[in-house]
Amino acid sequence: MNEKNFIRNEMKERLSKLSKPYYEHYSYKIATNLYNHEDWQQSKVIGITVSKEPEVDTYQIIRKAWESGKEVVIPKCHPKKKALTFHKITKFSQLESVFYGLFEPIIEQTIEVKPENIDLLIVPGLAYTNEGFRLGFGGGYYDRYLPGYNGKTMALAFHFQVISQFDIEEHDIPVSKIITNNEVINTK
């Protein structure tokens, strides 16, 4: 097993041990730290995934974005090309589960939003370094998407998902900030 997969498995194991009260406590702190951040406050269009437990909860963040007058765009995976497109949702009922048990936008009911129109992209992942390099779920979707995206990036993570190091490959693209339950890490 390569190092990336070893760490992916270790982190999935670690995440699976997070109790529901701590999952909620940390997710709420992360959300609060996000709302206090200028990148959130200044952004109108937010790109974000719909979380699947035990990923940091994003349902509360999506609701908050709507309540704050922001637009929410959600990724749709295109497995053949390993590509992502983002689609604006205005209600949770515009989601469906087709790929990997993830909730994704229903294409027919939502409008695609191009990368140049997204202000802040919240990139999902399993583990991060302090430099913002991320270990995703292994599809490389964001490593392919980010070269064509010039807006702000960040990741949301439980504090234990920030680890000292892992093997970074040439195609890996870092995020600019990591917001944890404890701190905001500026990576570059």
Ligand X SMILES: Nc1ncnc2c1ncn2[C@@H]1O[C@H](COP(=O)(O)OP(=O)(O)O)[C@@H](O)[C@H]1O
Query: From the CB of 125, what's the least distance to ligand X, in Å?
Result: 7
Measured at the alpha carbon of residue 12, what is the angle toward residues 7 and 13, in degrees to the nearest 5?
A: 95
Instruction: Find, among 164, 154, 162, 182, the residue nearest to 40 by Cα.
Output: 154
Stretch that binds ligand X, among 40-48, 111-119, 137-145, 177-185 (CB under 6 A): 137-145
Helix, strand and coil percent figures for the chain, each rounded to 5: 35, 25, 40
Q: CB nearest ligand X: which residue?
A: 140
DSSP 132-145: --EE-SSS-HHHHH
CA distance 45 to 74: 11
Check binding of 119 to Mg ion (CB under 5 A): no
Residue 171 structure tokens? 């195609």
Pick the closer one to ligand X by CB: 79 or 138.
Answer: 138
Check binding of 136 to ligand X (CB under 6 A): yes
Burial class of residue 83 (count of CB atoms within 10 Å of its CB; 0-12, 13-18, 19+): middle
Check binding of 77 to ligand X (CB under 6 A): no
Check binding of 172 to ligand X (CB under 6 A): yes
Residue pair 130/185 in contact by the 8 Å Cβ criterion: yes
Stretch that binds Mg ion, among 28-36, 106-114, 122-130, 164-172 (CB under 5 A): 164-172
Pick the closer one to Mg ion by CB: 25 or 82.
Answer: 82
Check binding of 151 to ligand X (CB under 6 A): no
Query: From the CB of 169, what's the least distance to Mg ion, in Å?
Result: 7
Exactly one of 4, 87, 152, 177 binds ligand X (CB under 6 A); which one? 4
CA distance 49 to 46: 10
Exactly one of 96, 119, 131, 143 binds ligand X (CB under 6 A); which one? 143
Residue 19 structure tokens? 């109790």
Which residues here bind ligand X, judged by CB under 6 A?
4, 135-140, 143-144, 169, 171-172
